[in-house]
Amino acid sequence: MDAAEPPAWIAVGRTARTVVVVLLDAGAAEQSREEIEPARLASWIADAEARWAPRWVWHDTPQWYGALLADGIRVARCHDLRLCHAILRESALVDDAAAVRRAVEWDAAPSVDAEDAAPALFELEQAQQPTGPPADADAAVAEFLRQRAAVEVSPEASRLRLLLAAESAGALVACEMRAAGLPWDAAAHDRILVETLGERPRGGGQPAKLAAAADRVRAALGDPTASLDSQPKLLRALHRAGVLVESTSRWELAEQRHPVIEPLLEYKKLSRLAAANGWTWLADWVADGRFRPVFVPGGVVTGRWASSGGGALQLPRQLREAVRADPGWRLVVADVAQLEPRVLAAMSSDTALAAAARGRDLYAGIVDSGAVATRQEAKIALLGAMYGATTGESGRLVPRLRRAYPRAMGLVDDAARVGEDGGVVSTWLGRSSPAPSPEWSAAQSRATEAEASGAEEARARRWARDRGRFTRNFVVQGTAAEWALAWLADLRGRLAALPPVSPEHAAPRSGPAFARQPHLAFFLHDEVIVHTPAEHADAAAEAVTEAAASAGRLLFGSFPVDFRLDVRTSETALKD
DNA sequence: TACTGGTGCGCG
DNA sequence: AAAGCGCGCACCAGTA
């Protein structure tokens, strides 16, 4: 593995029986290539990482990195071809995306079980990959060159490079968080379930408190066999009892006065907990004291992560008590206060909004500016502006923000207008919204024809406004996701650079080697949880804070906006 | 039996 | 029954 100059990139790909590595210089010219026996691969990669710290180029991070982590190997940087392809093929910052778009094989989603198959990645027999992007080295290099070409000719190359690096770093973090898991106290979870729902019945059936709530509902309805889990049946039963609601949603029920309401709301609350995060969930998703969800970077059109299985991004507040650090360890829980409005202030260079946010609760700052009277009003107005509210209290308050913060409001209003006209909008770093569907466009052009019906015109208008609200929010939500990726990536590096922990903490119960150091354990749009030995908790908390400031500078340079964090260090992930 | 669409609720 | 964005999941009902 000698090379004249250190490789800046190393592309990896599989053949039927071996792995091919391709060393590329900083200009992406090939220096050399080598075929590696699967048994030697892990140590080869570990050596190359230590020697050159290259950026690893591979087709799909979970399939490569999952196996490496299982072998105790961590890498600092990668370029995830599949994720970067998805960004570049749509980005309006790319002048000529034709070549990238033609490579349709890179549009394929990886097979669902690819991640679980990862530990077997280098076993001889697994050569077939039924779906997903190509896994061989030649395809990887070719796609990498196409992507580089698309980026390098763009006038916005530096933004795109940052976005691709952040997206790829996120892919590494997602794999690592799955490998490390979120420390989960099953006994504490069980206690919460027993307290809330009652003892778990041995032979199946409903727990006592849930059954009792159901009985009270049926008694109040005067209908001992009423079905509570079927929306149509429940609705009919309510009507028979004289509760004339149009839906069975909590919101509408709460406005009614009838003896059935209180027990019904109670029943809904309990049955939700039992169904979504009850004993079945605990058995399915928690093992060895860890909750291991599948994070899906880039899973949302805006660039936010999605999750698959376990409902990782919907952890109910009620269960946060069950998130519990290992003995001698701590959790550093940090979330950003009003991330999206701060991002909006920065990307629109709205110094007034940034000033309202600086060093304090942003909503309080808006109140102080005199635009609205109360914190609640400020919150409703700002959310309404970013989501496109037109009616109700929110719709009434938005015009006042428009006067106070014309630049910020102008940015989201413009994004809405572009979307209504069928155009494409982009985030700060260059992730673009999808083009309108053919059905959408057809409806719009149909509505302009002379013989279009009133109904057709109304539908086209409604769809246009729907799309306007989507693009309005896309620019803010998507840029906030970019900030969060930069935060994660920077934090990951800082945590990895902390000094080694003392020996008594160096070997916790189980898990990958990096999890013996302070490490990221959870991420939720604007929140991170770091699991750390107690002796490093202060350093980890400091790293979280510094990473946030660093992310702000990386995206917005010296623009004077701050990203305030609420940071708590404790043994559980409980909030307030 | 496997699917799809509707409903409702959890999260940001 | 939300208004006003983005998700995932469970459950039911209707259909293939």
Residue nearest to nucleotide C7 (CA to C1'): A306
**Contact of A344 with A412, CB cutoff 8 Å:** yes
Spanning CA of A419 to C1' of C7, the rounded length in angstroms is 21
Residue A498 lies in a domain: yes
| Domain-terminating residue out of A430, A457, A479 | A479
Same domain, A16 and A148: yes
| Token pair recorded at residue A12 | 């990896």
Residue A83 lies in a domain: yes
CB atoms within 10 A of CB A244: 9
Q: Which pLDDT tens digit goes with each residue over A275-326? A: 999 999 999 999 999 999 999 999 999 999 999 989 999 999 999 999 999 9
* A527 nearest nucleotide via C1' and CA: B12
Q: List the strands of the sheet with A290-291, edge to edge.
A: A182-183, A290-291, A286-287
| pLDDT at res. A535 | 94
Same domain, A535 and A461: no
How far is residue A512's CA from residue A348's CA, in Å, rounded to a whole number?
Answer: 42
| Residue whose C-alpha is closest to residue A278's, from A179, A198, A183, A182 | A198
Same domain, A419 and A501: no
Residue nearest to nucleotide B12 (CA to C1'): A525
Asked if the Cβ of residue A127 lies within 7 A of any atom of strand B, the reply is no
The low-confidence residues of chain A, meaning pLDDT below 50, are 114, 117-129
Residue A466 lies in a domain: yes
Total domains present in chain A: 4
Same domain, A462 and A501: no
Same domain, A566 and A513: yes
* A379 nearest nucleotide via C1' and CA: C4
How far is residue A365's CA from residue A347's CA, in Å, rounded to a whole number?
Answer: 19
Same domain, A66 and A116: yes
Same domain, A101 and A226: no
Same domain, A99 and A192: no
Residue A397 lies in a domain: yes
- For A212, phi then psi, to 5°, come to -65, -40
**Chain B, protein-covered positions (CB within 7 A):** 6-12
Residue A179 lies in a domain: no
Q: Which of residues 231-260 of A touch strand C (CB under 7 A)?
A: 231-233, 246-247, 249, 251-252, 255
Please, which residues bridge with residue A323 across strands?
A: A184
CATH number at residue A453: 1.10.150
| pLDDT at res. A366 | 97
Same domain, A276 and A380: no
Same domain, A368 and A409: yes
A33 half-sphere exposure, CB direction, 13 A CA radius? 15
Same domain, A123 and A99: yes
Give the amino acid at A335.
Answer: D
Asked if the Cβ of residue A313 lies within 7 A of any atom of strand B, the reply is yes
Residue A297 lies in a domain: no
| pLDDT at res. A128 | 45
Residue A510 lies in a domain: yes
| Domain-terminating residue out of A108, A131, A155 | A155
Spanning CA of A342 to C1' of C12, the rounded length in angstroms is 42
Asked if the Cβ of residue A376 lies within 7 A of any atom of strand C, the reply is no
| Residue whose C-alpha is closest to residue A115's, from A291, A295, A280 | A295
Spanning CA of A142 to C1' of C14, the rounded length in angstroms is 48
* A305 nearest nucleotide via C1' and CA: C7
Same domain, A472 and A492: no
Spanning CA of A321 to C1' of C11, the rounded length in angstroms is 27
Q: Give the range of the structural domain holding residue A20, as residue numbers without chain letter.
A: 9-155
Spanning CA of A175 to C1' of C1, the rounded length in angstroms is 40
* A253 nearest nucleotide via C1' and CA: C1
Residue A173 lies in a domain: no
Name, in order, each residue with C-beta under 8 angstroms of A535's C-beta and a sequence gap of 6 or more. A501, A502, A505
**Chain C, protein-covered positions (CB within 7 A):** 1-14
| Domain-terminating residue out of A241, A262, A282 | A282
Asked if the Cβ of residue A384 lies within 7 A of any atom of strand C, the reply is yes
Asked if the Cβ of residue A236 lies within 7 A of any atom of strand B, the reply is no
Spanning CA of A275 to C1' of B6, the rounded length in angstroms is 19
Asked if the Cβ of residue A317 lies within 7 A of any atom of strand B, the reply is yes
Spanning CA of A306 to C1' of C11, the rounded length in angstroms is 22
Q: Which of residues 256-275 of A touch strand B (CB under 7 A)?
A: 268-269, 272
| pLDDT at res. A505 | 66
How far is residue A448's CA from residue A458's CA, in Å, rounded to a whole number?
Answer: 11
